[in-house]
Chain A
Amino acid sequence: DAKTTQPNSMESNEEEPVHLPCNHSTISGTDYIHWYRQLPSQGPEYVIHGLTSNVNNRMASLAIAEDRKSSTLILHRATLRDAAVYYCILSPRFSGGGADGLTFGKGTHLIIQP
């Protein structure tokens, strides 16, 4: 499986934008880029995913480099509730649609300061 590299932790201030980087230099052409987050004592929660184009949803934006070797998850205005571990995951498109089992790394522990 192609691997991702993320910083162990990042710190940001409340109400400021947060840019969480992810490197995936061995990504293949069929790999989707997923982001999940896990709040303390909860199961992971889907944030966003994309293939080549930048993506926006109500939670975040995903900026994908032109060569697809890196991506950035953008939280436009962080709140204390965004404090979590953020995982960047590559997954090939399942032949029938959807994703196979996801390979999580250790993720980035995001700390939000009030």
Chain B
Amino acid sequence: DTGVSQNPRHKITKRGQNVTFRCDPISEHNRLYWYRQTLGQGPEFLTYFQNEAQLEKSRLLSDRFSAERPKGSFSTLEIQRTEQGDSAMYLCASSLVSMKQFFGPGTRLTVL
């Protein structure tokens, strides 16, 4: 399967711990996006990379959140000092130079 992959698929952590998620985009896609989705809501945009450059960050992305895409391929999203309000599905998407974004299956985070 050559779609967008995300790991882990599920993560349970205790409040105050740090967590890191990984996204592997479709090969050669130069754009990579992170979104967050809570129950009953549509996905909310967090941040976006073109190659290794982080071009846009939502105000939802607090100082506890950091995203990287070091070599313009896979990306990581880290949340420091997790809070219960961080519990959500974290979605990654990638695209080439087109209007079409391909989404991964998401990482479900539960903060206890």
Residues of A within 8 A of B (CB): 32, 34, 36, 42-46, 49, 85, 87, 91, 93, 96-107
Contacts and interface: CB of A to CB of B under 8 A. Distances in A.
Given A44-B91, A101-B58, A106 B103 contact: no
Nearest to A43: B103
A102 B45 contact: yes
16 contacts: A36-B101, A44-B43, A44-B91, A44-B93, A44-B101, A44-B103, A46-B101, A91-B99, A98-B95, A98-B96, A98-B98, A98-B99, A99-B99, A99-B101, A102-B43, A104-B44
Interface of B: 4, 31, 33, 35, 40-48, 50, 56, 58, 91, 93, 95-106
A85 B41 CA distance: 10
Interface of A is mostly: loop
Nearest to A91: B99
A107 B43 CA distance: 10
Nearest to B41: A106
Contact of A106 (B4, B42, B105): B42
A96 B99 CA distance: 11
Contacts of A42: 105
A42 B108 CA distance: 11
Nearest to B43: A104
A107 B47 CA distance: 21
B45 A43 contact: no
